[in-house]
Structure 1
Amino acid sequence: MGTTQLESVPEPKYWHLKTVLSDALDSEFAVGEILPNERELAARFGVARATLRQALEQLELEGRLQRRRGVGTTVAPPRVGVSVGDPAHSWPGINDTADPWRPVGSDEATPPPAVARLLGTEPDRTTHVVRRTRLAHGQPLAAELLYIPDASVPHLSSIDAPGGTARARTLLRELARLELEGQEQAVELGSARAEDAKELDRLPGSPVLIVTTRYYAQGRTAAVAVATYRADTCRLTFGDPSGGMQLLAG
């Protein structure tokens, strides 16, 4: 990387630095290569470390860089296209071998207020929560919390599966008894919570894409899924991939 004069540039220094760094990533660094430390980079470009951090954070948000625990900042691989609208995977109750999601546990908890409103339940009422993870090439791409009210799994018995992965699979089997009538999805940019960051091998506060899906069956909300995707590695696609047109997020 060479140096550049930033003082006369009318746009914010960090934004111009981000462009310079992006060009350098394309020409001088390979995927997975570790960048020099902040002190070296700041000295090389003649900027304050605060300015450098802003540029690095923006590049991470755009998926060009990854911060890894115990490693440092590395050049990110191209984002993986992840379908969130594939009809074959639209209903968690399918629970078949083709499903990219894998159950990792379950418990009962009070859902966040926004989820309780979507479910139409009382704010302090507990629901079943299935924890699932989505992998690609052996790497974690997303972590999901699937909230299921009692009314959606009326035949569930506590003796069927006391907890953990076995109970998660039982809940999904019971959910499969319902016929999916429709769903709504919303996507927003967020920051990784400590629990999600650990599961996704990210630092807490790292940028993530949060996909909230509301599932309908029997004329009511049958379940709500809140999936946290790695914004640095995922490119979300919506709609049927075979249909020609895809909407991209991230």
Structure 2
Amino acid sequence: MGTTQLETVPEPKYWHLKTVLSEALDQDFAVGEILPNERELAARFGVARATLRQALEQLELEGRLQRRRGVGTTVAPPRVGVAVGSSGQGWPGESVDGWELVDADGAEAALPSAAVLKLLGGAAVADQPVHTVRRTRVSHGQAVAAELLYVPAASVPGLSAIDGPAGAARGRAVLRELQRLALEGQDRSVELGSARADDAKELDRLPGAPVLVVTTRYFTAAGTAAVSVATYRADTCRLTFGDSGDVEITHEARVAS
């Protein structure tokens, strides 16, 4: 990896350094190879470590680098194309979709955030118990997404007869009862976010790492029956869409799971 003179470059130093580093990744490094430490890289390019970190963070955001616990910063493989569904997709867990059930909380657990409650129907469900199902999406043997699925108790009234303690068995029961409903449709939004501590642990990332947050609402004739908040690794995932390709731009706050 060579050096370059950055003092005369009119654009921000970190942005030019990002370009130089990107070219070096293509020429001098293999996928999975560990980069030199920050001190060595900063000295090699004659920049402050803060400038170097900005460049590395941008390359991570673009999927060129991965920061791994106990390993360091490595060259990332090409992004994996992950389908996030189409207008014809069914209920969560209805078909083989790469998701693995992890756990579920009972309806007596704490209520979801205000943002999720708003998507579920606001005041209409504010005093209702809500089941929370946790799932992980795996692609090529790697966890690429962590999902929280929120299902109001009113959406699965038949669950009471088979209700059990929190865990995977409860999660399967919630999904099974949800699939008994007639799905009328769904809508979906995608936005950039930062990994929370629990998401980072699920996805083998560092807290604050860039992620893509996919929020899906599932509708029946009676209204919203469930809300999914799925956190995808932004460094490894390239989200693809089916026959529903509309893009809606809003300025609302990010849904917090």
Please report the TM-score for the alignment, with normalisation by the length of structure 2. 0.89
Cα shift at 1:213: 0.3
Q: Secondary structure at the match of 2:42?
A: helix
CA distance in 1, matches of 2:37, 2:161: 53
CA distance in 1, matches of 2:122, 2:178: 18
Structure 1 partner of 2:144: 141
2:114 maps to 1:113: yes
CA change 1:130–1:6 in 2 (3 A) is: same
Are the aligned partners of 1:14 and 1:55 in contact in 2 as well (CA < 8 Å)?
Answer: yes
CA distance in 2, matches of 1:6, 1:90: 53
Are the aligned partners of 1:84 and 1:90 in contact in 2 as well (CA < 8 Å)?
Answer: no
CA distance in 2, matches of 1:246, 1:137: 28
Cα shift at 1:86: 4.2
Could you say what the CA RMSD is over the residues aligned between the two structures, in angstroms? 1.8
CA distance in 2, matches of 1:246, 1:79: 22
2:68 maps to 1:65: no
Are the aligned partners of 1:89 and 1:99 in contact in 2 as well (CA < 8 Å)?
Answer: no
Cα shift at 1:239: 1.6
4+ residue runs of structure 1 moved beyond 6 angstroms? none
CA distance in 2, matches of 1:126, 1:215: 18
Report % sequence identity: 74
Q: What is the letter of the counterpart of residue 121 of structure 2?
A: G
Structure 2: which 5+ residue stretches go unaligned? Answer: 248-257
Are the aligned partners of 1:188 and 1:209 in contact in 2 as well (CA < 8 Å)?
Answer: yes
CA distance in 2, matches of 1:93, 1:202: 25
Q: Secondary structure at the match of 1:174?
A: helix
> Which has the larger displacement, 2-11 or 122-131?
122-131
What is the correspondence of 1:94-109 to structure 2 with a 5 Å cutoff?
94=94, 96=95, 98-107=96-105, 108-109=109-110
CA distance in 1, matches of 2:149, 2:90: 13
Are the aligned partners of 1:93 and 1:177 in contact in 2 as well (CA < 8 Å)?
Answer: no
Structure 1: which 5+ residue stretches go unaligned? Answer: none
> Which has the larger displacement, 82-91 or 158-167?
82-91
What is the correspondence of 1:167-186 to structure 2 with a 5 Å cutoff?
167-186=170-189
> Which has the larger displacement, 202-211 or 231-240?
231-240
Cα shift at 1:124: 5.6
Are the aligned partners of 1:152 and 1:175 in contact in 2 as well (CA < 8 Å)?
Answer: yes
> Which has the larger displacement, 4-13 or 82-91?
82-91
Please report the TM-score for the alignment, with normalisation by the length of structure 1. 0.92
